[in-house]
Structure 1
Amino acid sequence: MTFRHPVIVFDLDGTLIRGTTLSLVLAEALGHRPVVEELEHLYDDHRIDNHEFAVREAGLLRGVTPERYRAPLAGVPWIAGVKETLSALTEGGCTLLLTTLAWQFAVEELEHRPWFTAVAGAGMDLVDGALSGRVDRHFHEEDKRAFTEEWCRTRGIPLAEVAAIGDSRTDLPLFGAVGTSIALNAGAEARAAADHVLDTDDLRDVLPLLRAR
């Protein structure tokens, strides 16, 4: 199987991970789920921005060691067909990137991380072997586009040859920059901005939209 785009950029929460977010997975394991649920509610209602969300969540994670957060991250609920889809795309010659507003330290622990050539997300450093509780790299929706642009620029790949798959308003800047955008199980803003809209419980259903014509 061959594909039209040499680079495919995926969002994570709501796109590859269904029914929860990495923030909620961590919060459930660490005992502060109600606080993070409220933060997500405030963000969804545009009452706080991503910068404020990250700062407040970071404080909740202060002192947490990798040993405490690795186990819950191993059990996140992936959309069906994720392994088969990522395998088909890489075997078809595509390079896969992952951009997310979630914590990059959490993304690095995920089961399917090895499929992605590069990932980008928010950063938090370790101090004496534990999370510092301070954001050392904010990652906003515009940064999804900036990261993809820079990655492609250094390799001579036009953005017109990139496809992006996401589900929310955080994907809009990237959707507007790439050759093909797919809103997968998405909210109204992403659906309105995308070239294709797909509702499915199986990621393999995106493959016909990406296949070479």
Structure 2
Amino acid sequence: MAKLHLFDLDGTLLYGSAAPVEISRQLGLVEEIGELERAFAGRLLPPPEYARLVRELWADLTVEQVAAAFDGAPWLAGIREVWADIRARGERCAVISLSPNFFVERLLGWGADATYGSRFPTVPFREPVDLAGILAPAAKVRIADELCAKFGLTRADCVAYGDSMSDVELFGALPMSVAMNADHHVSDLASHTYTGRDLREAYELVRIDGFGHGNR
């Protein structure tokens, strides 16, 4: 049975949305972030350049707006309950996202053992983005390995939950994965597929079937 559960954020824990979209909504910049998101998804913008442009777009961002974006985001139901169950079983859970760390780390308060996001300056911004701290999809595998080493586990003890191209490398590296409201890039690789808005239902696929394979 999995002992380390690794969750993507955008499109996975957030239903049909992403942290940058929810943050930009607070600034009235939904159209502008939409253009950047499409370019990023289409691989027209590499992660560091995307981050640099987002930092410029959010020049006036405040801590209060980040909190409002987090609180008002379309989260899946049952996240805290699932993470509480994982920890009650003596297992671990972490969030690995390409989105800004100042948003992702708020999930520590919901029961995640660890969170990882692209490293942005402290809000309100006073410095440029350190491009060396911006995560790319390959970083998810590296971080998974680091967490395994920290907790005395191996990749065979892990399950990944994700939805899109940024999760492909991680899905390919782990024996069990759940495609969450996903596109074909990950659903074709996943051990299980889930469509819906309740993390408890997706988590149940893992609990019932262990490391068995076959889409649901």
Is the pair's TM-score, using the shorter chain for normalization, greater than 0.5?
yes
2:86 to 78, 84, 89: 89
Residue 159 of structure 2 is aligned to residue 174 of structure 1: no
- Residues 24-51 of structure 1, C-alpha deviation per residue, up to 9 Å, x if partnerless? 1111111222110111111222222222
Q: Secondary structure at the match of 2:99?
A: strand
Distance 1:207 1:154, change over 3 A: closer
Distance 1:13 1:38, change over 3 A: same
Pairwise CA RMSD: 1.9
- Residues 64-115 of structure 1, C-alpha deviation per residue, up to 9 Å, x if partnerless? 33233222322111112223222222222220010001001012235x6431
Q: Secondary structure at the match of 1:176?
A: helix
Aligned to 1:164: 160
Following the alignment from structure 1 to structure 2, what is the Cα–Cα distance between the partners of residues 166 and 117?
18
Deviates more, 1:146-155 or 1:8-17: 146-155
How far is 1:189 from its partner? 0.3
Following the alignment from structure 1 to structure 2, what is the Cα–Cα distance between the partners of residues 138 and 189?
23
Q: Secondary structure at the match of 2:119?
A: strand
**Consecutive unaligned residues in structure 1, runs of 5 or more:** none
How far is 1:119 from its partner? 0.6
How many equivalent pairs are there?
207
How far is 1:199 from its partner? 1.6
Return the structure number with greater helix share: 2
Following the alignment from structure 2 to structure 1, what is the Cα–Cα distance between the partners of residues 164 and 93?
19
How far is 1:162 from its partner? 0.6
Return the structure number with greater strand share: 1
**Consecutive unaligned residues in structure 2, runs of 5 or more:** 211-216
Aligned to 2:214: none
Aligned to 2:201: 205
Contact 2:95 2:104 in 1 (8 A): no
Regions of 4+ moved over 3 Å: none
Contact 2:23 2:65 in 1 (8 A): no
Report % sequence identity: 29
TM-score with structure 1 setting the length: 0.89
Aligned to 1:135: 129
Q: What pairs with 1:18-167 in structure 2 (closer than 5 Å)? A: 18-110=15-107, 113-126=109-122, 130-132=124-126, 134-136=128-130, 137-167=133-163
TM-score with structure 2 setting the length: 0.88
Q: Secondary structure at the match of 2:120?
A: strand
- Residues 155-197 of structure 1, C-alpha deviation per residue, up to 9 Å, x if partnerless? 3211111110000110111111122111111011011121222
Following the alignment from structure 1 to structure 2, what is the Cα–Cα distance between the partners of residues 78 and 148?
23
